[in-house]
Amino acid sequence: MLLEVSRLSAAYAGVPALHDVSFGVGEGQIVALVGANGAGKTTTLRTISGLLHPVRGQIAFRGQRLDGQPAHRIAELGIAHVPEGRRLFSRLTVRQNLLVGAHGKRARASENEAMERVLTMFPRLRERADQRAGTLSGGEQQMVAIARGLMLRPVLLMLDEPSLGIAPKLVDEIFTTIRAIAREGTTILLVEQNVRESLELADHAYVLQTGSTIADGTGAEILASDLIRRAYLGI
């Protein structure tokens, strides 16, 4: 396993948000984390990337313990977290946002190739390179957020709701891009509101309910399970 999360619990200022989260992500896989609003998907990603420190449990990446390490060091190990709500640096231009994405030592050397790669992947960003990120449309902002994550040259790319608030046509484009990124060899951990699409895309999926992982299977298995669909996913 590339990433192994075991019996993770986490809290916000003493209020528990994760109770018992366990799952694994294999090298080269697309793994989806699904669950209702407030189930703890975002919190799980935030704990992996070091924005939040776990109360209990372990996170191992390539056999190395992540829990307790600061976020900037976890990023240097090759984990990119594209956060919910995009969180672009709104006063910086598109290009500057991408450059900031390559700030880490691991990414710096190959900054130019990475820039060329993401601008080829998202041609629209090339046209908008010198526009302030805060003035982009929602869909364009999401492209910048994903591209900024890729600038890190991540081994593992964690995407939190990449299709949230985006026009349906663009959603398809984003899912196509995610598939392309995976084909190029980047492992992906995906959190999505679009449960159906993400389960169709995923090699493996875990269902999260009120802070605990309660089921897992291939994307197709989860989709086929009436119980899980009705009880936890509402589809």
Ligand X SMILES: Nc1ncnc2c1ncn2[C@@H]1O[C@H](COP(=O)(O)OP(=O)(O)OP(=O)(O)O)[C@@H](O)[C@H]1O
Among 29, 42, 177, 186, binds Mg ion (CB under 5 A): 42
Nearer to another protein, 5 or 145 (CB): 145
Among another protein, ligand X, Mg ion, none, the one that 89 touches (CB under a kind-dependent 5 to 8 A) is another protein
Residue 187 — φ and ψ, nearest 5°? -75, 145
Beta bridge partners of 65: 60
- Report how far Cα 205 is from the mean position of its chain's Cα atoms: 14
Interior/surface letters 137-147, b for 16+ CB within 10 angstroms, e for the rest = eebbbbbbbbb
Q: CA Rg, the chain, in Å? A: 17
Q: Is 43 in the site for Mg ion (CB under 5 A)?
A: no
Nearer to ligand X, 124 or 229 (CB): 229
Separation of first and last alpha carbons in the chain? 30
Contacts of residue 67, Cβ cutoff 8 Å, sequence gap at least 6: 47, 53, 54, 57, 58, 59
Map residues 32-51 to x or -, x wherever contact with ligand X holds by CB under 6 A. Answer: ---x-xxxxxxx--------
H or E element, residue 6: strand 3-12
Measured from the CB of residue 186, what is the shortest distance to another protein in angstroms? 16
Among 5, 17, 80, 202, binds ligand X (CB under 6 A): 17
Measured from the CB of residue 169, what is the shortest distance to another protein in angstroms? 27
Q: Is 165 in the site for ligand X (CB under 6 A)?
A: no
Nearer to ligand X, 118 or 207 (CB): 207
Residues forming the site for ligand X (CB under 6 A): 12, 15, 17, 35, 37-43, 84
